[in-house]
Amino acid sequence: MGTNWNLNDLYKGFDQEYQNDLKKLSDLVDSYAAFLEAGPKSDKDYVEGDIKFDEVLTVLVRGLASFASLTQSTDVSNNEALGYLSKISGIMRKLTAPSVKFSRYLATVDLDKLAKESDKVKLYLSNLKRAQKDAQHLLTEKEEVLYSKMQELASSSWGQVQQLATANLTAEVAGKEYTYSDLRALAYDYNPAIRKEAYEKELKAYESVENFVALGLTNIKREVNTMVELRGYKSALDKTLQQSRMSEKTLNAMIEAMKDYRPHFAKYLRAKAEYLGHKNGLPWYDLFAPVGELTKTYTYEEAQDLVLNAFGSYSEKLASFAKRAFDNDWIDVFPKKGKRGGAFCSNQPQIGQSRFMLNFTGSLDSVSTMAHELGHGYHGDVIKANAPLHWSYPMPLAETASIFCETIMTQYLLTQFTDPKDRLSILETGLQGDTQVIIDILSRFLFESKVFESATRPISKHEMKAWMIQAQKEAYTDGLDHDQLHPYMWLVKGHYYSAGLNYYNFPYAFGLLFGKGLYAQYLKNKEKFLKNYDDLLALTTKEDAETVAASMGIDITEKSFWLDSLEMIKKDIDEVVELFKL
């Protein structure tokens, strides 16, 4: 059992097998393009043919692209991996013009009628109807080809600039040099002087890269605004909601509920500030300060045992999945120089597996992150039985299983420790995460909205820092010390740096609150829930968010659902505030 992930089940390297599959991809794309360019002999043959080609392509390209991307994520300067990602993009671009032609044709087809004649069309009817709707926003074939070529040189490259700039940063704290990932992890250190120095050195380090990263973010958002206008969307948010298969009514209900509960989060943050000896609200560098007397840090092996026991308290199927991930080296565990910050799960349903990147530090939060990412993997384990074009879920529903598994972990930990000060440590660690996913996400949503509103011109680093501070003040209200905020959170978070995934913030809040709502249902009737939960996860790749929620009797367009979920967090806040007084 190692601590670096094993990618051999994908490929053993950029070897002959990889080259052979790359050639297969190129040949497949050529055949697919020729088929689409030839046009329909009949609606049934043309639509079914497109589906069959797309299924094979999905399997092949997922493996090739994932291997290169995963290789690069633990070594961001790996030019060979970057080169293959670029090569794959170049091959896939050959489908741009033929796909536009097919999409325009698809807009003329009576899909309900065709579904009665074709099992393939019936299987993917929801996908095809969404494609019909998306076809309204297509440019001409030549314009789509040009944009796909230029995007690689524009927004995609600017996103890589942010990764390179942050991954290679280092700073000295208490006489020791730290990489970017390690430096940010010091926010969880038990020594308050270390936390403060790390925060100050982190902000200082960003000064060396802020100019060109700000330029990168500006150019990405300006590109998005340009394309949104050309495609006829109302805004970048409108496009994101369509991608997310989520209605604006649902988003507004959730955001308004989040705003309503800001005073409760501020109450928690002020109480934590007093507990730590601060008088003007909590300084940013103590947001993740550990509290209580549960000072234990966990080895990777201890964290594995915790996860297996917690997951086993829910279901053996979930625990068995986690054990497979541990035993088969699906996880890249520890921080190292050149490795991306943060954590993620990459589902690989074509081989029935997943890969997980962590930056594990041994903190309780690291254990929670492990449970979170394994939740994504369990989601992937469920959907691997779906047809290939039902392997992808939209952003909001992507967080459902991960948040649910985090909740399982927190509830399990609470059964293991009975001392009130230990309970404080566990509950407060959970609240740190909840605060990030509700309040900090709100600040990111507000900030990104402001950037998009202004991204018709170059935006200076000074404006970005000012807008981020303003967004933090609006979201955290008086819970934080306004003289000790984080003006560079726009530079830290890679979620801002994708032209294809805008507003990759509110889906986390959706996932947290939807996951907590599901956990409440689980507590009411565990046997019934266990029968239905995997069906819900499988449905996430096929239907919109409202339909998926309705399958469990939930109406997410109503503010009341989100308020009920937030009320569960408020109970933890009220208990933690009382425990702070002990």
DSSP string of 83-152, one letter each residue: HHHHHHHHHHHTTHHHHHHHHHHHTTS-HHHHHTT-HHHHHTHHHHHHHHHHGGG---HHHHHHHHHHHH
Average pLDDT of the residues of the chain: 95
pLDDT confidence of residue 13: 97
89 vs 103: CA distance, rounded Å: 20
DSSP string, 503-555: T-SHHHHHHHHHHHHHHHHHHH-HHHHHHHHHHHHHHTTTS-HHHHHHTTT--
Question: Where residue 341 falls among pLDDT bands split at 50, 70, 90?
Answer: confident
In this structure, is residue 570 part of a structural domain?
no
Q: How confident is the model at residue 358 (pLDDT cuts 50, 70, 90)?
A: very high
For the record, the structure tokens of 55 come out as 């299924």
Is the pLDDT confidence value at 1 over 80? no
Phi, psi of 411 (to 5 degrees): -65, -35
| Tens-place pLDDT, residues 456-507 | 999 999 999 999 999 999 999 999 999 999 999 999 999 999 999 999 999 9
Average pLDDT over residues 320-345: 94
pLDDT band at residue 340 under the 50/70/90 scheme: confident
Supply the pLDDT for residue 230. Answer: 96
Domain range for 41 is 16-153
Per-residue pLDDT tens digits for 263-314: 999 999 999 999 999 999 999 999 999 998 877 789 999 999 999 999 999 9
How many domains are there within the chain? Answer: 1
Provide the CATH number for the domain around residue 47: 1.20.140.70
CA 199 – CA 286 distance, rounded (Å) = 9
Residue 291 in any domain: the answer is no
Is 42 inside any structural domain?
yes
Q: Is residue 476 part of a domain?
A: no
Q: Per residue in 8-54, pLDDT tens?
A: 999 999 999 999 999 999 999 999 999 999 999 999 999 999 999 99
State the DSSP H helix or E strand holding residue 405, giving kind and residue range, or none if neither.
helix 400-416
Binning pLDDT at 50, 70 and 90, where does residue 259 land? very high
**How high is the pLDDT of residue 297?**
86
**Does residue 288 sit within a domain?**
no
Q: Please write the tens of the pLDDT for every residue from 76-128.
A: 889 999 999 999 999 999 999 999 999 999 999 999 999 999 999 999 999 99
pLDDT of residue 212: 93
What is the per-residue pLDDT across 214-235, written as a single tens digit (0 to 9) for each?
A: 999 999 999 999 999 999 999 9
Residue 375 has pLDDT above 80, yes or no: yes
**Domain assignment present for 122:** yes
What was the pLDDT predicted at 416? Answer: 87
Can you give the pTM of this predicted structure? 0.86
The pLDDT value given to residue 364: 83
Residue 327 in any domain: the answer is no
Give residue-wise pLDDT tens across range 321-331.
999 999 999 99
Would residue 549 count as lying in a domain?
no
pLDDT at 5 over 90: yes
- For the stretch 410-414, contacts whose Cβ atoms lie closer than 8 Å and that sit 24 or more positions apart, written own/partner, are 410/368, 411/310, 412/306, 412/309, 412/310, 412/313, 413/306, 413/310, 413/364
pLDDT at 286: 98
Please say if the pLDDT value at position 399 is more than 90.
Answer: no
Residue partners of 467: CB distance under 8 A and separation at least 6? 447, 450, 451
